[in-house]
């Protein structure tokens, strides 16, 4: 453990306990500025991971995250935000955390070391050869995650590892390893800080870029969102209005006619089609709005 970058003492913050409040904040901010650069260095690996995920999803597979502690919570968070943002079914992107649901709010003693639990959790979620498993472990050695990735490989699933240490054990079990090395933490070993932020950035890229590739966006508009609250309903109206070049009243009426489906409403408006015809055109275009508008 002492050889892991994430476990080393940061000389820049060695006297942080003697600093004033403003100095503490400035020290933390200075360290946080290093995160984006570390993630940028992993761009090629992230892109390779996205291509693999998009390919598997297009063929009926799923994306599953597996992690313990902060890593597990970040995976669950990213997965839970996909349905409202991209209107994906809840089972398409799944977050699994060592220790189960209770571990989201409480530390579960020994959960990260339970190798059999990882296999049991993945079996419960029916992991198979069509899926992608992303194992998240800042240390690159968490037994729960390592076991899960080995199990995924044995099944023929695509295995991706995310760590904040170079030359980690993940490299022996993952098809692609994403390793933004952010350096020692402000508080030694507290990987909820820089490592956690880097992980969140990577997960944002994995799901967002994948959703772009499979047609969940048009330009930078989230045209497959689910209007589950007042804010999202208003956003749906703005999106239809902006892309289809209609006023907001017309956009609202189009959405009502198209059962709240943003892409269908846009196709209906721009191609002068009824709901069934617009929906059929989208299906022929594999759900990609840009393609549907040019058919």
Torsion from C-alpha of 277, 283, 286, 287, nearest 10 degrees: 70
Q: Measuring CA to CA, which residue among 222, 181, 154 is closest to residue 45?
A: 181
In whole angstroms, what is the distance from residue 59 CA to residue 168 CA?
Answer: 31
Q: Measuring CA to CA, which residue among 69, 55, 273 is closest to residue 189?
A: 69
Please, are residues 181 and 38 in contact by the beta-carbon 8 Å criterion?
yes
In whole angstroms, what is the distance from residue 132 CA to residue 198 CA?
Answer: 21
Q: Where are the alpha helices (DSSP H) in the chain?
A: 21-32, 35-40, 43-58, 69-86, 115-124, 143-155, 194-213, 230-244, 248-257, 262-271, 275-284, 289-294
Query: Mind telling me the catalytic residues?
Result: 81, 112
Measured in whole angstroms, how far is the alpha carbon of residue 151 from the centre of its chain? 21
Residue 114 three-state SS = coil
DSSP state of 218: B
What is the enclosing helix (H) or strand (E) of 96? strand 93-97
Measured in whole angstroms, how far is the alpha carbon of residue 124 from the centre of its chain? 21
Please, are residues 239 and 231 in contact by the beta-carbon 8 Å criterion?
no
């Amino acid at each position: 453990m002492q050889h892991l970058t994430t476990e080393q003492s940061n000389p820049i913050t060695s006297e942080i306990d003697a600093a004033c409040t403003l100095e503490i904040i400035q020290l933390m901010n200075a360290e946080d500025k290093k995160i984006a650069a570390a993630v940028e260095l992993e761009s090629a690996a992230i892109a390779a991971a996205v291509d693999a995920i998009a390919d598997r999803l297009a063929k009926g597979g799923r994306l599953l995250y597996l992690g313990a502690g902060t890593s597990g919570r970040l995976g669950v968070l990213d997965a839970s935000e996909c349905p409202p943002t991209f209107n994906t079914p809840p089972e398409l992107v799944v977050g699994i955390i060592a220790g189960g649901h209770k571990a989201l709010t409480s530390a579960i003693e020994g959960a990260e070391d339970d190798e059999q639990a990882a296999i049991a959790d993945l079996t419960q979620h029916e992991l198979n050869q069509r899926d992608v498993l992303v194992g998240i472990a800042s240390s690159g050695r968490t037994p729960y995650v390592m076991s899960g990735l080995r199990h995924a490989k044995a099944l023929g699933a695509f295995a991706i590892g995310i760590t904040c240490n170079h030359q980690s054990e993940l490299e022996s079990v993952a098809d692609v390893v994403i390793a933004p090395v952010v350096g020692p933490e402000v508080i030694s070993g507290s990987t909820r800080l820089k490592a956690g932020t880097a992980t969140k950035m990577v997960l944002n890229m994995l799901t967002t870029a994948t959703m772009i590739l499979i047609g969940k966006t048009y330009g930078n508009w989230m045209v497959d969102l689910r209007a589950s609250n007042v804010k999202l309903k208003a956003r749906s109206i703005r999106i239809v209005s902006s892309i289809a070049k209609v006023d907001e009243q017309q956009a609202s009426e189009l959405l009502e006619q198209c059962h709240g489906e943003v892409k269908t409403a846009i196709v209906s408006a721009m191609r002068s089609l009824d709901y069934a015809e617009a929906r059929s055109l989208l299906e022929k275009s594999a759900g990609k709005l840009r393609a549907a508008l040019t058919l």
